[in-house]
Structure 1
Amino acid sequence: MNTPATANESNIVSINVGGRIFQTTKQTLTLAGTDSPLSKLATESSTRFLDRDPALFSVLLYILRTGNLPARSTSDVRDLIEESRHYGIEPFLIDSLSNPSQFEAFDLRKSRVLRLNGRDSPSTIAPTGGGGLHVAHGSKITSFDWSLRRKSTVLTNFSAVDSLLEISPGVLAAGATDFPGLQIIDLESGGSVQTALNWENVASSTVQAVGSSSEFLFASFESSRRNSNSVMVYDLSTLLPVLELDRGSDSSAIPSTKLRWIGSCNLLMVSGSHASPSGVSGHVRFWDVRSRNMVCEINEREDCFADVTVSENLSAVFKVGVSSGEVFYTDLRGLGGGKEGDRWVCLGEERKRSLNERKGVGCKIESYGDHVFCSKGDGIELWSEVITGLVGNARRDVLEERVFRKNSFVAGSGENKVTGLVFGGSRMFVTRKDQQAVEVWQSSSRGVSM
């Protein structure tokens, strides 16, 4: 009968990789799968020699053990890709690079620039589930794989794509404000249109926004005459219509141009705004899809939003004011109570605002993880919450005074104005006015050389 020490030693496997000895357990090696040569090493009784690069093996072994990339890895992603394929563990590398836990907001650096073919700047961008990216520019959609090294381009029927969303690997929902229907595009078949979704009984309706949850696909439509609009809900697996929400049927109805699913509340946030000689007005509404009821509405009049987003991690909705350019928030738990004007709390200086200043025009705001990112001209502000009175308590059961701190981690440096911000896995993607490229931002302390 083996003693505990003997049993533990029999579980250890020694591997000589390029002259460097590694020791690991049989369980770690078998995680690679039965088809991987690493799992076969678990059955070896003596030290096995592999004529491979020990530095790359060290990184891949760390990924097998933890699911993450090691801190301050200097390996080139191209070398890691080839090595991971040799060992049959490329999916592990993909997961580690696209893991949101690797995203460190305070340590982002521009790692590379993705160049696009043609003269058109990106109109909209959409991340993939594996850390890659889809970019719409002109009538084309260019897709980058998870390594950002391989790209492919397809032509669409649109003169310009305004809404883009990956609804499953290799399948996109694409729409435009000047072309009818939401097209479901299959990239694997060269960009062919699987089907086109339309607003029921409304001919030539154009798409203003798209969104999704784990069950549903959401599309905001506007009629060609611009006198009515609606949000359609489709079953994500069958693409059959389920119901209609947020219908507006007069000339003053504002179409929703942003759709965000709030999974923690099972609510759909829809928002839209409109500029007129008297100023900018808009709405932020929250719909319970299953009951078909609107549970809350914020009518925006003074300092309406230039852009709005929601953070489930922070349990808050954030906006950037179109007049002031300041960032505001309202607590998700406080929706449905209080006066209209009391809902928004300014995170900035909240100086006296003029409706004619329009300092926030073109500003973008997005949340990711525990942070909020807001573009201001050519720079980007990072907002993070400072927990006061809740140390050690991650739950927010009651409303309390909340403090947010600003960090300008991408200060204005004379570059072109930021036009788009999206996040995927461990990356932030940035587009700028009149640039035929996408910037990739990653943590400098975690990740690999791009």
Structure 2
Amino acid sequence: MPPFTQSGPISNGFPLTNQKINHQNHHPSTNIITIDVGGQLFQTTKQTLTLGGSNTLLSNIFDSSEPDSINNIPFIDRDPELFSILLSLLRTGNLPSKAKAFDIQDIIFEAEFYGISDLLVQSQSNPSQFEAFDLEKSVILPLSGRDSPSAIATTPNGSVHVSHGSKITSFDWSLQRKSTTLTSFTAIDSLLALSPNVVAAGATDFSGLQILDLDLGFVRETLNWENATKSSSTVQAIGISPELLFTSFESGRRNSNSIMVYDLNSFKVVTKIAQNEIFGANLDSAIPSTKLSWVPSLNLLMASGSHSSPSGVSGNIKFWDIRSGNAVWEIKESADCFSDIAVSDTLSAVFKIGINSGEVSYIDLRNFGSDNSWSYLGDTRKLNNDKKVKEGFGCTIETHGNQVFCGKQGNLELWSEVLMGSSNNVKDRIFRKNALGRVKDLGGNRITNMGFGGNKMFVARKDQQCIEVWQSSTRRF
């Protein structure tokens, strides 16, 4: 029997036993549609069936039936239980709790059959369903080979690309492995998703930034910086804005560095900024940018880098105006320099983890250019620690929405701002710390990378050949 034929009368999601058939349901003027799926009768409305799109199988059902005859109810030869789940998806925009009893792939195949897979993706990877305070470790994504993850690149719909050794493994929004691509890199240190199937990848010991199509398995572009010494140009960091791609390069001889700005569509050079040549003992010019972040509200690029010497760790944070090519604000770091740094446009602040103290601090961007002093959120007594201790060494920090996430060795911390009335004084800002996860989620190897996509957080740890997926317990499929 073909999957879509005509059959007998319908109900509202339950078999019709002693119910009387309402012949008016089939009148052209009524809004109620009846369907027989796999022998089970359902009843819904025309509007509900069209919520998945105007050209889907379901949206065209009522056009193919003969409404004046109760013997011409549309029949679809598919699983009625799966259809019930998808009908709930159409009605509410979310999968019902009973969907947890089914394999996600079965639901995906069924959604593709009915032509509503886009609605399913939207319901399962909506960033608005990301609930930071309720995150729990839910899934482990294994990686092939012996190499640990070196970089994570996420997409807005919740898919993720992971570099490990010379390979990049991709998982789709449903966390199913899509592909593993072998690259020409020995190891990949920087990875950025430009689309669900295209990434920018670079390494600190291999020349050039490569634009890779992971679906088709080829290198679209290789971008290089033509430095004065004509040596190779290794990649130290990658960043992105809605129109531009930023790449921090360092010469193979490590005596010069620069940030190249490319058009995101054509990959043509737009401009070059932050070029430095090392002269004598000028260590400041020797520091390439190892983190690039676009700040939309300021229309500026934040670039940061640090340098370790016998006297300690020093670094700088600069905000660059791409149009003029000038640094409009610089924060120099010496005492308790950052182990890692992140900027939040939502919170209007730059956050760091001090390499000596291991504590979180911030500078308010509402005082842009006028205040270079850090406000500490943690234990200020640790500021006087012996610099040889370096409690923050290897710690990571990232911002997502209005939250700040910290990888403190093997544990995860969440910092959130507490709203305190209507005061506009930036010194009145208060942040509170929360531990993430259940007791069994705590601890483990040092956290090396964090990424966010859709309603998920992805975590990589040192010497582990897998990726942890953290999701809200209330939203998890």
Residues 127 and 156 in structure 2, CA contact (< 8 A), matched pair in contact too: no
Instruction: Say whether residues 1:314 and 2:314 are aligned partners.
Output: no
Cα deviation digits, residues 222-277 of structure 1 (max 9, x gap): 11121211111000010000111122222522110011111222111111111111
Q: 1:405 to 1:21 in 2, by over 3 A?
A: farther
Partner of residue 218, structure 1: 246
- Alpha-carbon shift at residue 62 of structure 1 (Å): 4.1
Aligned equivalents of 1:30, 1:374: Cα separation in 2 = 44
Q: 1:62 to 1:290 in 2, by over 3 A?
A: farther
Partner of residue 12, structure 2: none
Partner of residue 324, structure 1: 357
Compare 192-201 and 136-145 and name the one that shifted more. 192-201
Aligned equivalents of 2:215, 2:162: Cα separation in 1 = 16
Residues 321 and 327 in structure 2, CA contact (< 8 A), matched pair in contact too: yes
Aligned equivalents of 1:105, 1:37: Cα separation in 2 = 37
Partner of residue 312, structure 2: 279
RMSD value, Cα? 2.5
Residues 372 and 384 in structure 1, CA contact (< 8 A), matched pair in contact too: yes
Instruction: Say whether residues 1:61 and 2:87 are aligned partners.
Output: yes
Aligned equivalents of 2:31, 2:80: Cα separation in 1 = 22
For CA contacts below 8 A with separation 6 or more, give which structure has more relative contact order: 1
Residues 73 and 446 in structure 1, CA contact (< 8 A), matched pair in contact too: no
One-letter amino acid matched to 2:213:
D
Partner of residue 139, structure 2: 112
Q: 1:136 to 1:51 in 2, by over 3 A?
A: same
Partner of residue 197, structure 1: 223
Instruction: Say whether residues 1:235 and 2:255 are aligned partners.
Output: no
Instruction: Say whether residues 1:97 and 2:97 are aligned partners.
Output: no
The correspondence for 1:127, drawn from 133, 154, 158, is 154
Counterparts of 1:18-37 in structure 2 under 5 Å? Answer: 23-37=43-57
Partner of residue 248, structure 1: 276
Q: 1:8 to 1:248 in 2, by over 3 A?
A: farther
Residues 208 and 256 in structure 1, CA contact (< 8 A), matched pair in contact too: yes
Instruction: Say whether residues 1:39 and 2:59 are aligned partners.
Output: yes
User: Helix, strand or coil: the match of 1:188?
Assistant: coil
One-letter amino acid matched to 1:429:
F
Residues 169 and 177 in structure 2, CA contact (< 8 A), matched pair in contact too: no
Aligned equivalents of 2:92, 2:273: Cα separation in 1 = 44
% same residue: 58
User: Helix, strand or coil: the match of 1:356?
Assistant: coil
Residues 71 and 447 in structure 1, CA contact (< 8 A), matched pair in contact too: no
User: Helix, strand or coil: the match of 1:114?
Assistant: strand
**What TM-score results when the alignment is normalised by the length of structure 1?**
0.90
Cα deviation digits, residues 287-318 of structure 1 (max 9, x gap): 12223232211111111111111112212111
Aligned equivalents of 1:36, 1:146: Cα separation in 2 = 22
Partner of residue 4, structure 1: none
Gaps of at least 5 residues in structure 2 are 1-26
Q: 1:22 to 1:403 in 2, by over 3 A?
A: farther
- Alpha-carbon shift at residue 386 of structure 1 (Å): 1.0
Compare 266-275 and 17-26 and name the one that shifted more. 17-26
User: Helix, strand or coil: the match of 1:101?
Assistant: helix
Partner of residue 23, structure 2: none
Larger radius of gyration: 2
Compare 70-79 and 101-110 and name the one that shifted more. 70-79
- Alpha-carbon shift at residue 346 of structure 1 (Å): 0.8
Q: 1:335 to 1:41 in 2, by over 3 A?
A: same
Aligned equivalents of 2:407, 2:346: Cα separation in 1 = 20
Partner of residue 334, structure 1: 367
One-letter amino acid matched to 1:432:
R
Gaps of at least 5 residues in structure 1 are 1-6, 391-395
The correspondence for 1:369, drawn from 390, 393, 401, is 401
